């Protein structure tokens, strides 16, 4: 069963959108709760000063120190909700940026390793095929001594080439381990 691949960019966009919407939803809920708490505290303050129709009028109530403190606390909570929402959204965006960049780097490295392995496989197959052909020719045909010596020299040259390629691969592996 072949499933369609989900692109890294699409997945990142989806996660970022979801998280921003979740932050916005929580910010709205906190904002509403802050307003509800203010309304309840205002009612308590109003009742403390004799109710809406007894004692202080609304303008006088708003000029009291208690109301001013209540309003300041409400504004402080609004600023806090807004600042935390922005901070969390920026942190999320930065985190996703770092993860996305690292994932892209890993995908690029995997692609480069795959291309390297394909190249190495091709390079290793050539001398092996040449040596095999040389050995099959020697074993299946009646050849003169000079022809056998020439084929053996070609086979030795291909074996040396193969040995050089393997040594280069081992050196590359050691260098990669040191990084």
- 55 contact partners, CB below 8 Å, separation of at least 6: 49
CA dihedral 65→70→75→80, nearest 10 degrees, is: 130
The per-residue pLDDT for 53 is 58
Query: Which pLDDT does position 51 carry in this prediction?
Result: 62
Q: What is the pLDDT of residues 75-125, one digit of tens each?
A: 999 999 889 888 988 888 898 889 889 988 998 988 988 888 888 888 888
The structure tokens listed for 158 are: 């291909």
DSSP 4: P
pLDDT confidence of residue 130: 86
Confidence grade of residue 52 (pLDDT, cut at 50, 70, 90):
low
Q: pLDDT confidence of 141, banded at 50, 70, 90?
A: confident
The chain-wide mean pLDDT, for the chain, equals 85
> What Cα–Cα distance (Å) separates residue 78 from each residue in 35, 44, 82, 87?
9, 21, 6, 14
Q: Which helix (H) or strand (E) holds 42?
A: helix 8-48
């Amino acid at each position: 069963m072949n499933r369609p691949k989900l692109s890294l960019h699409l997945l990142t966009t989806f996660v970022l959108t979801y998280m921003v919407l979740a932050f916005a939803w929580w910010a709205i809920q906190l904002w509403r709760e802050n307003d509800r708490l203010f309304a309840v505290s205002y009612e308590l303050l109003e009742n403390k000063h004799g109710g809406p129709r007894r004692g202080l009028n609304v303008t006088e109530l708003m000029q009291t120190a208690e109301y001013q403190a209540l309003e300041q606390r409400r504004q402080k909570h609004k600023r806090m909700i807004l600042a935390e929402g922005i901070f969390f959204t920026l942190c999320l965006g930065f985190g996703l940026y770092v993860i996305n960049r690292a994932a892209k780097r890993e995908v690029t490295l995997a692609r480069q390793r795959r291309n390297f392995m394909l190249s190495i496989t091709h390079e290793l197959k050539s001398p092996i095929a040449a040596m095999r052909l040389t050995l099959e020719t020697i074993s299946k045909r009646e050849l003169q001594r000079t022809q056998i010596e020439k084929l053996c020299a070609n086979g030795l040259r291909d074996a040396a080439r193969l040995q050089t390629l393997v040594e280069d691969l081992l050196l590359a592996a050691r260098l990669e381990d040191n990084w």
